[in-house]
Amino acid sequence: MTESVIRVVGLGKSYETAAGLFPALKGVNLDIQPGEFVAIMGPSGSGKSTFMNLLGCLDTPTMGDFFLAGKNVAHMDKDALAILRNRTLGFVFQGFNLLPRMTLQDNVALPLVYAGVDKEMRRARARELLGKVGLGQYAESLPSRISGGQQQRVAIARALVNAPRLILADEPTGNLDSHTSEEIMRLFGELNAEGITIVLVTHEQEIAAHAKRQVKFLDGEIVSDLATDSLPFMAQRAGIPLGKGRAGDGMGAIGADAETHPLAEATKQPTKPPGNGGQVSAYPSLPLVPGDAAPAGHKEGGVPC
Amino acid sequence: MLKAMLGEAWLAMGANRLRTALTMLGMVIGVGAVVIMMAIGQGAQYAVQQTISTMGSNLFIVLSGSFTASGVRSGSAGAPSLSVADGEAIAELDGVGNVAPTHQGTRQLVYGAQNWSSQVIGTTPSYLETRAWNIVNGAGFGDSDVRSATRVAVIGKTVAENLFGAEDPVGKTMRIQQNPFLVIGVLGSKGQNLDGRDQDDTVIIPLSTAQRKVFGTPFLGSVRMIMVQADSAEAMPKVMDSVTSLLRQRHRLRDGMPDDFFMRNLSAAAESEAETTRTMSILLGAIASISLLVGGIGIMNIMLVSVTERTREIGIRMAIGARQKDILSQFLLEAVMISFAGCLLGLLIGLGVALGINVFTGMVIVISGSAALIAFAVAAGVGIFFGWYPAQKAAQLDPIEALRYQ
């Protein structure tokens, strides 16, 4: 068996609040193998944002261990975490988070500055990746000159610039219309096909359906962990009633299903071998419900504090 | 890395030009004020030092005492209590350099159709040495001239100009008190002394000639004043003490009797003057430094605002792998760059204003390289000192909080 990209053992995080210690994450276990494409789902306050922050080495857990590419990062100091974020991970955010005063090329090259790469190399690498996401002609433009979908592509290029084995995406399509979302997800699909492990947080079933594995959070625990192709297609579709699924205020029918699912509490490995995207490729052709086009009220509250 | 960071700092400075310019203005005014004040202060010090050096260093004078006749007291040097022999005895003391007995007064000088009133000093050749005064034209008189009371004179520049005009005075004969004197030398210019008196308006003649032909004296060999030069400034108090005891002994004064002479320390007055200007220059510098401090606080203020404004940017940078020290150095570099740019501008403006003051008011201005260097070091220091706290604040931000910041 290959070394897990992510192995989480009893990982927990509690916050000090006025009402006492609040456990945002209650000791979860999860194993993600190289080449997987995992969607993390769950309602607001379910602990998924906390989990993503821990995976992204932005935060340190209060209990448990987190092995990133075999190294336990649970007790690393801030600088070591910064180096991991720089070399081992790529981040994609909901709000794109490009620096507005820098050209796209400089934005993409920024992680290389912190990695100490010289200027010519930075330029060449940034050009290469902008070309890869189809925006090579905008290298000298400022982020404000391009559309949201294009900005997200630039953000993905930036995440890829240090050739990480893992991309973490937090609601990467949250600010995009459905058509652009599909494009971005297709890009993630292509990257995954190249062997890059992708973990993304999303609200939307359509987006999660692009992943090969779906992990659901509720109240700081993993309540379901299933390979996407094991989910009955029709039940999945039926489980997203218009309006309810959009509001993000519940887990929908799937969540309800999952709670009664025999595998609900397990942190079971997906049954599908990594890299096989055959089933996944069927999903982008899913007919989209017109009401999906402009998702609103999406911002995750994250951890209550 | 550094180049990339410099570029970024430049971008950040350019992002809000007006704000950067205003922040820099604080430094410009601060550094400018320091440069101007230091130039003026050092100029004043230089001017005083020049004056002091024309007077001669480590000098004191011994004046003969006053006398009382029918209740009327003469001023100092009224009684003929000092003698040339006293001067010779003083010269034998340890720590004494030159000794020059003098007798001076104001007399009318006549040359051809011109006449001019000037200070006439009768003294010995060591007087010129004591005052560090050189002769630019002709020669001085010697000890033999003093012994034989020859009628020769060395004249100051002002006298030469007023009496002789364009003529060369050396070899000409002028009259003092009807007595013809041969001009044998012209003194170099010394300018004004601390009182503002023109030191060049002087005629120097042998002491014996002065006493016999010009001023007259009740007792031959008595002298009104003896100028004494100590070997060093440190030796001054000791030399003055030993001169006092020597003179009391020579004048046969018993314990309890008052001194029949006065002593005045000329250098002390000059040094206190120098001390005053030094204090003034330090004070000026200190006041100017306050504006530099205010400029530094301005930088700190703006950097704090900038850190708050760019919290999200800091979060993004951290998320993509910036370490704390990367963020710290980014903001520190920005502060130092603003500080340096302000300093450079302040230096140029300060120098311009200082030169302007010199040109338009004629005030003595001293611009030293060390002042400029100090200003630069201070600017860098101010940038680092006042940039440190905001930069530290930025580096300590929690990446998650920073990313969430709107």
In chain B, pLDDT over 90 holds for what percent of residues?
Answer: 19
Residues of A in contact with B3 (CB under 8 A): 119
Q: Average pLDDT of B366-383?
A: 79
What pLDDT, on a 0 to 100 scale, did the predictor assign at position B3? 76
The nearest alpha carbon in chain A to B8 belongs to A102
pLDDT at residue B315 above 60? yes
Mark out chain A residues that contact chain B at CB-CB < 8 A.
53, 56, 58-59, 78-79, 82-83, 85-87, 91, 93, 97, 99, 101-102, 110-111, 113-116, 119, 158, 162, 302
The nearest alpha carbon in chain A to B14 belongs to A101
What pLDDT, on a 0 to 100 scale, did the predictor assign at position B126? 87
Residues of A in contact with B320 (CB under 8 A): 85-86, 91, 110-111, 114, 158
Helix (H, G, I), strand (E, B) or coil at A243: coil
Of B15, B316, B320, the CB nearest to A86: B320
Report the candidate in A92, A288, A270, A149 with the shortest Cα–Cα distance to residue A206: A288
What pLDDT, on a 0 to 100 scale, did the predictor assign at position A265? 40
User: Are B321 and A78 within 8 A, CB to CB?
Assistant: no
User: Are A99 and B12 within 8 A, CB to CB?
Assistant: no
Pick from B87-96, B215-224, B313-322 the range whose average pLDDT is largest: B313-322
Q: Average pLDDT of B134-159?
A: 89
What pLDDT, on a 0 to 100 scale, did the predictor assign at position A152? 93
Residue predicted with more confidence, B66 or A192: A192
**Please, what are the domains in chain A?**
6-267 (3.40.50.300)
pLDDT at residue A296 above 70? no
Give residue-wise pLDDT tens across range B134-145: 888 888 888 888
The nearest alpha carbon in chain A to B5 belongs to A113
Q: Average pLDDT of A32-58?
A: 91
Residues of B in contact with A58 (CB under 8 A): 318-319, 399-400, 403
- Compute the Cα dihedral for B72, B75, B80, B82 and give only its sign: positive
In chain A, pLDDT over 70 holds for what percent of residues?
Answer: 75
User: Are B319 and A53 within 8 A, CB to CB?
Assistant: no
Q: Average pLDDT of A153-179?
A: 92
Residues A92 and A111: their CA atoms lie apart, in Å, by 13
Beta strands in chain A (DSSP E): 6-17, 20-32, 37-41, 63-68, 71-72, 89-92, 166-170, 197-201, 213-218, 221-227
Of A82, A93, A99, the CB nearest to B318: A82
Of A83, A97, A116, the CB nearest to B1: A116
Of B313, B320, B323, the CB nearest to A91: B320
The nearest alpha carbon in chain B to A111 belongs to B320
User: Are B319 and A83 within 8 A, CB to CB?
Assistant: no
pLDDT at residue B168 above 50? yes
Residues of A in contact with B330 (CB under 8 A): none
Q: Distance (Å) from the C-alpha of residue A99 to the closest C-alpha of chain B?
A: 7
Give residue-wise pLDDT tens across range B7-39: 878 877 887 888 889 889 988 988 888 888 888
Residues B40 and B357: their CA atoms lie apart, in Å, by 9
User: Are A302 and B404 within 8 A, CB to CB?
Assistant: yes
Q: Average pLDDT of A9-22?
A: 89
Give residue-wise pLDDT tens across range B44-84: 888 887 777 777 778 888 888 776 666 676 665 566 778 88
Residues of A in contact with B321 (CB under 8 A): 82-83, 85-87, 111, 114-115, 162
Q: Distance (Å) from the C-alpha of residue B13 to the closest C-alpha of chain A?
A: 11
Residues of B in contact with A76 (CB under 8 A): none
Residues of B in contact with A119 (CB under 8 A): 3-4
Q: Average pLDDT of B298-310?
A: 91
pTM: 0.67
Residues of A in contact with B15 (CB under 8 A): 101
Contacts of A138 (CB under 8 A, 6+ apart): A104, A130, A145, A146, A150
Residues B179 and B171: their CA atoms lie apart, in Å, by 16
Contacts of A270 (CB under 8 A, 6+ apart): A36, A212, A213, A225, A226, A227
What pLDDT, on a 0 to 100 scale, did the predictor assign at position B68? 65
Report the candidate in B22, B18, B28, B23 with the shortest Cα–Cα distance to residue B291: B28
- Please give the ipTM for the structure prediction: 0.75
| Inter-residue contact B390 to B306 (CB < 8 Å) | yes
Beta bridge partners of B105: B120
Residues A116 and B363: their CA atoms lie apart, in Å, by 55
User: Are B3 and A114 within 8 A, CB to CB?
Assistant: no
User: Are B319 and A59 within 8 A, CB to CB?
Assistant: no
Distances (CA, A) of B170 to A240, B163, B288: 121, 12, 53
Of A101, A111, A119, the CB nearest to B321: A111
Q: Average pLDDT of B324-350?
A: 90
Residues of A in contact with B313 (CB under 8 A): 99
Report the candidate in A42, A37, A38, A6 with the shortest Cα–Cα distance to residue A24: A42
Contacts of A37 (CB under 8 A, 6+ apart): A188, A189, A192, A197, A198, A210, A211, A212, A213, A277, A280
User: Are A97 and B404 within 8 A, CB to CB?
Assistant: no
What pLDDT, on a 0 to 100 scale, did the predictor assign at position B382? 84
pLDDT at residue B392 above 70? yes
At A164, which amino acid appears? P
Q: Distance (Å) from the C-alpha of residue A183 to the closest C-alpha of chain B?
A: 24
Q: Which two tokens stand for residue A115?
A: 């990695």
pLDDT at residue A264 above 70? no
User: Are B12 and A101 within 8 A, CB to CB?
Assistant: yes
| Cα B362 from chain centre | 16
Q: Distance (Å) from the C-alpha of residue A114 to the closest C-alpha of chain B?
A: 6
| Inter-residue contact B204 to B121 (CB < 8 Å) | yes
What pLDDT, on a 0 to 100 scale, did the predictor assign at position B225? 86
In chain B, pLDDT over 70 holds for what percent of residues?
Answer: 95
pLDDT at residue A244 above 50? no
Mark out chain B residues that contact chain A at CB-CB < 8 A.
1, 3-5, 11-12, 15, 312-313, 316-326, 399-400, 403-404
Residues A108 and A125: their CA atoms lie apart, in Å, by 9
Q: Average pLDDT of B356-365?
A: 86
Q: Distance (Å) from the C-alpha of residue B21 to the closest C-alpha of chain A?
A: 19
What pLDDT, on a 0 to 100 scale, did the predictor assign at position A35? 92
Q: Average pLDDT of A95-101?
A: 90
User: Are A113 and B4 within 8 A, CB to CB?
Assistant: yes
